[in-house]
Amino acid sequence: MNDAYDTLERRDPAEREAALLAALPAQIAHARDRAPALAERLAGVEPATITSRDALAGVPVTRKSELLERQRATRTSDVFGGHATIGWRGQGPGAGARRVFQSPGPIYEPEGTGGDYWRMARAIHAAGFRPGDLIHNSFSYHLTPAGSMMETGAHALGCTVFAGGVGHTELQLQAMAELRPHGYIGTPSFLKILIDKAAETGADISSVRRALLSGEAFPPSLRDWLAERGVDGYQCYATADLGLIAYETPAREGLVIDEGVLLEIVRPGTGDPVPDGEVGEVVVTTFNRDYPLIRFGTGDLSAILPGPCPTGRTQRRIRGWLGRADQTTKVRGMFVHPSQVAEVQRRHPLVRRARLVVEGEMAQDRMTLRIEAPADAPATLCDEVAASVREITKLRADVQRGEPGSLPNDGKVIEDARSYR
């Protein structure tokens, strides 16, 4: 299972980085020229100059809330809000979309005509599936793209797919017992339900020896539980907007970033990249010509892991899903955003990191901004920072200074520690 899906996985890291960066200017120009929303967002950006990660960091981040707002504003003429270069008669560019999906929001996503459109074959291969295998696919084929994402990837790998979808546990167990699939793709919780039900009813699903799992948390305890029952489970990280982002390998040391995306980790509420190892928001640029999302903020937290994967794959790795980046909270009737904490930091360069802690009981909120600053920082720094907090948020906060490295590396910019009892 350590064999690579293709030669891209074992490229020299410098070669991969050069290839990704070389492809950036054309993708940005294509997005600006063909997608109206991105033409607005990229106004003033000269594509030919975006040839490094530092240059890319100057391009605005698009977050899901902004995508939804734009889609709502253009529903009658373009359900994709000007972010796609394909559509159908009467919608957007007028042609090119094979399917359209709806995710909660609702947010609509297009699917074009390319093979392995969502780039899932790489993750399916890493989970141990091989050409000729029968895969029981229990992701939804209804509304959302998950079922199609996995099926098109499985077909690209040369696998046969049973379109199980969600629910109907007894019927799915019957299909497993009679078709004898080599493995399962779906959520980890539904796989557990199937295994428990099989044990209860005596259904023989012992042919299922491997699984690719996504859509929810897959803790080590459940991974071990599956292994005890003969199922080797791996996880992948994908979204309806972007397709595959990263996937687990037999090394089980983080998730390897997909070859078809350029991934950054930024400070929540900003577009500023953080150093490798620091937890921040996952921001992804895709090279999908149909849906050219440039610096799309996933809203998920993760961090870059040091070194290459022990399997020989040379792409960088992330730690996996570590929580949500949108930590906006309401304090005394006012919304406080991570971007406001970031603005405080920008005004005070001596502040290396900051964390706003909201404590107290309902209607008795109090805010404390904990900052990291060097020991030789001026004695007035805390007072100056407190004044900036008051100006930016319209709320008062105490400021506590700590040494560099004193704050937890967990990506939290705002911590809601209030009691709601």
Q: What is the mean pLDDT of residues 112-133?
A: 97
Point out the least confidently predicted range of 188-197, 251-260, 319-328: 319-328
Q: Provide the pLDDT for residue 329.
A: 85
pLDDT digits (tens, 9 = 90+) for 123-178: 999 999 999 999 999 999 999 999 999 999 999 999 999 999 988 999 999 999 99
To the nearest whole percent, how much of the chain has pLDDT over 90? 83
**H/E element holding 174?**
helix 169-179
Residue 363 has pLDDT above 60, yes or no: no
Residue 241 has pLDDT above 90, yes or no: yes
Sequence-distant (6+) residues with CB within 8 A of 169 are 193, 194, 197
Q: Provide the pLDDT for residue 128.
A: 97
* Domain carrying residue 412: 329-416
| 305 CB-side CA count, 13 A | 20
Within a domain: 253: no
Q: Provide the pLDDT for residue 284.
A: 98
Sequence-distant (6+) residues with CB within 8 A of 50 are 24, 25, 28, 56, 59
Closest CA to 78 of 25, 370, 247, 67: 67
Q: Provide the pLDDT for residue 65.
A: 87
| Distance (Å, whole) CA 332 – CA 404 | 30
Residue 224 has pLDDT above 90, yes or no: yes
Within a domain: 390: yes
Q: Provide the pLDDT for residue 261.
A: 98
pLDDT digits (tens, 9 = 90+) for 183-215: 999 999 999 999 999 999 999 999 999 999 999
Within a domain: 401: yes
pLDDT digits (tens, 9 = 90+) for 370-406: 999 999 999 999 999 999 999 999 899 999 999 999 9
| Distance (Å, whole) CA 419 – CA 360 | 6
Within a domain: 383: yes
pLDDT digits (tens, 9 = 90+) for 54-77: 999 999 999 988 999 999 999 989
Within a domain: 368: yes
- Give the CATH number for residue 366: 3.30.300.30
Within a domain: 340: yes
Across the chain, mean pLDDT equals 94
Q: How far apart are the first and last CA of the chain?
A: 50
Q: Provide the pLDDT for residue 149.
A: 97
Find the DSSP H helices in 45-115: 53-56, 64-73
pTM metric for this prediction: 0.87
Higher pLDDT, 338 or 237: 237
Q: Provide the pLDDT for residue 59.
A: 96
Q: What is the mean pLDDT of residues 306-322?
A: 95
Closest CA to 253 of 297, 309, 294: 309
Name the domain count of the chain: 1
Within a domain: 71: no
Within a domain: 355: yes
Q: Provide the pLDDT for residue 217.
A: 85
